[in-house]
A and B are shown apart, each in its own frame.
Chain A
Amino acid sequence: MKENSEIVDERILSLLREGGSHAESGFRLLMEQYQERLYWQIRRMVFEHEDANDVLQNCLVKVFRSSHTFEGKSKFYTWLYRIATNEAITFLNKKKQTAATPLDAGESPLANRLRADDHFDGDEAQIKLLAAIETLPDKQRQVFNLRYFDEMSYAEMSELLGTSEGALKASFHHAVKKIEGFVASYD
């Protein structure tokens, strides 16, 4: 028996394939179903709302324009998630290339940005955690976020990221150790 999410996915894809006003209805249904989930995946990677908004909008436009290329070999959300993370990584790489070197090497530039961000009201411990997550390599950061914040099972993560469960467990273990090390040296 099909899950409710699978039925919705089929409906979305069917409307998108019909084109015209049906495609628009299908796309609105897609956004209603997945926009928040995708937003938080992206936000945990890029940290700031303005950046997350830009990346998410670009991602959704790409999804609409390339929906005909979805072959159904994976779950629909897996396909959406991959487009979103690719967009976020591309965005982060561009940002790294244009970012100025911080004058104060001791403090994370992200910490200062978060303190000045109107859409962040976390305390110093939360800033410390996010600064630690920022130091992780892209793939390790994805694994950590999915496990720690979304509490996703390794089986689901394996399908989503196309990586073996063993490798994912090891990756999460290393991420936790790195974060603890960062936090210990942060104060």
Chain B
Amino acid sequence: MEAEVRTPPTICGMGHRMKRKEDARFLFGKGRYVDDIKLPGMLYMDIVRSPFAHARIKSINAERALAMDGVVAVITGKDLEKYNLHWMPTLMGDTQMVLPTDRVMYQAQEVAAVIATDRYIAADAVEAIEVEYEPLEPVIDPFRALEPDAPVLRTDKGKTDNHIWHWEVGDREATERAFQEADVVVKQQIYIPRIHVASIETCGCIADYDPVEGKLTVYMTTQAPHVVRTALAMVAGHVGLSEEKIRVISPDIGGGFGGKVPIYPGYVIAIAASVLLGKPVKWIEDRSENLQADSFARDYHITAELAATKEGKITALRIKTLADHGYTDAAANPSKFPAGLFSICTGSYDIKHAFVEVDAVYTNKPPGGIAYRCSFRVTEAVHAIERMVDVLAQKLGMDPAELRFKNFIQPDQFPYKSALGWEYDSGNYPAALRKAMDLIGYEELRREQAERRARGELMGIGISSFTEIVGAGPSRHFDILGIKMFDSCELRIHPTGKAIARFGTKSQGQGHETTYAQIIAEELGIPAEHVQVEEGDTDTAPYGLGTYASRSTPTAGAAAAMAARKVREKARKIAAYLLEVSEEDLEWEPGVFRVKGAPDKSVTIQDIALAAYTNHPPGMEAGLEAVHYYDPPNLTFPFGSYICVVDIDKGTGQVKIRRFVAVDDCGHVINPMIVEGQIHGGLTMGFAPAMMEELVYDEEGNILTGSFMDYLLPTAVETPRWETARTVTPSPHHPLGAKGVGESATVGAPAAIVNAVVDALSPYGVTHIDIPITPYKVWKILHEKGVV
């Protein structure tokens, strides 16, 4: 279904498949990324990294490096310690080393930095620095980390064990009772492995300190430039960096996916180097550094249980999780949510009782726990509940679609208050699943499956009916470093009727320059092509919390609509003045105010814009502009139903996805083409960890997947053909009825794939497979079950 379209193609408001305004520059190779920027006198930084996962640094000898032509400086933790910059806070209130003075805590951790006049000299100098290490016993397994005799990693914090925090939500006793009274209980261990966003562009920055003006300009691959500016002012205030003297510019970004929210040590070292040397310093990670040292995602060891009646009505959910955070909690969640929005784990189902607890531990692995295109731990939540529903269906001998229909929150139950405290805004889960089943021909596929099974063939059908939770968020609950998670739009209309709009968000490929322009076109009737959208420069953009967690449309998109409506209200006054009628006598259609009953008497928004600067009503301020900071009243809850069909090659264990139908509902759609693109990309990023991606460490903490040779990303060849469709259930509280869509598919897809594979293998007693589902894993199961 296409969204309702109210504007003509000349205006191109909501619902038009407008080609992306930003694409021309990307297609012509004219994008401007951090590494494209070259400043006069710029120096280059490269980083010495630890070969050990846990070791004491006995000495660092930089003599040979410093003697090399072109090497300007070598910076160690001891140097930063003089300025108290060797540690920094994480967004989660933990602490992280910028450079170590004593111990390294994971393989590939930063140990020292070289500054040189040339990128190549810097790389050679890194090889020339001699570091003497005393290896210490590493803690790699998070369960081992909790054993009493495990080495304690964070003695610097006065810790006596490796436990970071315990978090729980729900009614423990009521849930316990529901489990005791249940006819049927199922329990499953589910591991969601450590993965990496692996954006095409790695991280990097140029720090440019002007010692005369005392001004620091940082070009940085960041999804949240304003947060970075404020964090830098908070962390480095004591060395003279003041917020009005800091400018963060986030140029074009080649993919973020959550990995460009944190502030990495490399950024801080580059800034320190620029301040010390008074010259611009560029630091760009290479691919291995990006994979080995930057924030990971997931790494949740989940034990999930469902209680149900024998008819298949789910009565309770209980989840216990161990979260491996590496050596520091450097996740990027809202401050009050250490496990993100994991408590959305009751999913699309009306479950009366639920209890969830998460314990976080330190290990000798890279820090993180960021949300990889998953709205703060929502993938983990969806994977757990969507797997468990299938485990229950299998136990009951019931069709997984039937079990879902039986337990869905029904359309008339919205707004729905979940057992874990969320108020779902709107949804129609049965409609989305029914549509997906019709599109794929579900009943026919089940008949085919029965025939194939009789012939000994392995075919599986998997469903995932997910509910997302995005758009953080209402400021009473959501903040980062205490800053409320609103977002903003500043809109100015020029005298010739064209517009510029600036935002606190930052596109990394989502198409903001087009989407926001279409929202303003919808509200003001100014053609979208005449609306210039700017983001990413803290000197010009209004304050905002940035782009992640599918929050741009729910927050800044709403701010755009609200700012445009403020402009329209002023435009109405000017129109009344120009037409010599009262405001009440005017009616609005996109781009024009007309006099009621005299439709040939009208003024266009362009006429009004000119008048705002040339002929505005007496007593009114000149100009036509507005600013809006939008604080959403609630989160939005996009949802969808995905169905996947797989065939398994018994000889090799290879799984082939034959079909994958994705029905998404993100409320009103601004640009259907962009939404489809987001879903295609999201499905591929759901497919990848389901089938291929995993960061693997050996017992010593050596990373075994430190390059794209072994950290497997799908190409177009492996990626299935996606079939997408839509239902539209508007958000009742969003000004446009939109919900956000950037992460839905990544969140919903893996469970559909796993459910299909498990379904194929269920005749042999298989109830669960952890992702990634590799051919080897499948073959091993077939081998153990005596199928081959």
- On whether the two chains bind one another, the answer is no
Chain A residues at the B interface, C-beta cutoff of 8 Å: none
Chain B residues at the A interface, C-beta cutoff of 8 Å: none
